[in-house]
Amino acid sequence: MKKIILASVMTVFTTGVFAQNAALDAQLKDAQCKTAADDIAKAEKATQDAKKGIKSATWVKLADAYLEMASVCGKDSLASEKAYNTYKKAIEIDKAAGGKGVKDIETATSGTSSKLYTSLMQQGAGFYNLKNFKNALNLFKLASSTSPKDTTASLYAGIVAQQGQNFEEAKAFFGKFIDQGGKDIAVFYGLSELYKNDKEIQKAVDILKKGIQVNPKDKDLQSSLINAYLSGGMMNEAIEMMKQLIANTPNTPESSKNLAENIKNLGTLYENGAEEYARKIRPIESEMTRTLKDKAEYEKDLSGAEQRKSAQEEELKRLGDRLKKEPKSATSIKSSIASVNQMIATANTEIDVYKQKIAKINTSIQENSTKEAELVTLKAKETELKDLAVSNYKKALEVDPSNFDANYNLGVFYFNSAVVIKGTVDRMDMKTYNEKGKAIEEQVCATFTQSKVYFDKCKSLKADDQDTDANLSNLQGVLEQCSKRK
């Protein structure tokens, strides 16, 4: 059967990156690079001085020099990271000396407007453009740490981590983006997919629920939540979510196709639910059928063994009579009697074995009474869900008669229903068939005809659909046989 997957069409993450500064005049740039390099060398020398090296201001100057190299020269692609680490060193030294300057250093190096943040983002983007995701991720992470409320750095870090196959980091930074108040639909979807891929379905569900809270009108997130429920085996939750989606879709000409699709999808959910019950029903029915078949075979074998024993006992009686009448043939007759007695003993053994097997099966059948009750309940639920599926497919066609899948699924439903009914006719003995077989065959043909109506509609909607053509070809042969019976 053609099933409709409730897929959410979501664009992949795309984002611009910080553009590198336009090329400066080569001579001016060389001069700036030389100045930056000289400043770094001078500052590094100062940090090695016994007196100057214990002052935070010395380390701040070195960090500023690295930052200048990152901003105006660009020859050192990790200068911004060196600046970050050096500012941290300056803070450590200042704290050791009393911490009077810590606040000023932190203020100067925090927030999206700081030169440090901009340099980290710029150089991170440079690595990203070179597909060096490891270094790009590291710099975006540092940028994110300088501005805890900034969503851009955490978003970029998540994207780069995902592209670099570092999925745990991607989860962490997409999660941080959401916690920071980010509302990008693609992030909610992407993070939920990462959790789904790792079989963390409940986390995927929770993320999608958050996404729907901040993007309540987005249908893709709602469909994704339904998919997540299905992945986690939460069929009831998926059905309730789909009902909610239908309730939120207006029945207007503009939205009729979407509404019909949602209603059809609800029907598909019910049909999938019915199939889950069918999967539970089949092994129980198979076991019960096998048990009854085994019992019938053992009873047949028992009857055969008893008939052989009876025949052999008759033969024994006949040989006994001969022995009395033909004493001269006693030796031969006694040999035959011994042989027959052996056969009777073998038959007795077989009879005992078959009786034991039948007794064991009868015990199993008695124990299966609870399974029979369970089977009744399961079949009732299966029927209920199938009826709901059919009802929703028909409702979908009331809203939009051109919904291909609703037509197709109804065509398949009635075709399969007719096959099941026909199976009851095929299993009838001649007496039962003569009593009611023809009436049931008429029902079979009527159901096949009903199926053809929907497949004909499918053909008018998609003339080149191979599945539809195959089903109509099968139906043509079946309905020709129906015509011959009239």
Angle between helices 438-461 and 404-426 (to 10 degrees): 160
135 in Cβ contact with 78 (< 8 Å) = yes
C-alpha closest to that of 421 among 391, 395, 456, 445: 445
Count Cβ atoms within 10 A of the Cβ of residue 112 and give its class: 0-12 exposed, 13-18 middle, 19 or more buried: middle
What tokens were used for 483?
């015509």
Give dist(CA 126, CA 365) in Å, integer: 74
**Backbone phi, psi, residue 233, to 5°:** 70, 20
What tokens were used for 291?
């048990």
CA distances from 258 to 164, 242, 397, 459 (A): 37, 12, 12, 22
CA 32 to chain centre: 57
Number of C-alpha atoms within 13 angstroms, CB side, residue 45? 6
pLDDT tens for the 486 residues of the chain, in order = 233 232 222 222 233 333 444 443 566 666 677 777 777 888 788 888 778 878 888 888 888 888 888 887 766 678 899 999 988 998 988 888 887 888 988 888 898 989 999 999 999 998 998 899 999 999 999 999 999 889 999 999 999 999 999 999 999 999 999 999 999 999 999 999 999 999 999 999 999 999 999 998 888 899 899 999 998 989 999 999 999 999 988 889 899 999 999 999 999 999 999 999 999 998 888 888 888 888 889 999 999 999 999 999 999 999 998 888 888 888 898 999 999 999 999 999 999 999 999 998 888 777 777 788 888 999 999 999 999 999 999 999 999 999 999 999 999 999 999 998 888 888 888 888 888 888 888 899 999 999 999 999 999 999 999 999 999 999 999 898 888 776
What is the 8-class DSSP label of residue 434?
Answer: I
C-alpha closest to that of 220 among 250, 255, 252, 262: 262
Give pTM, 2 decimals: 0.68
Helix (H) or strand (E) holding 415: helix 404-426
pLDDT number for residue 19: 41
Measured CA angle at 388 (ends 385, 394), to 5 deg: 145
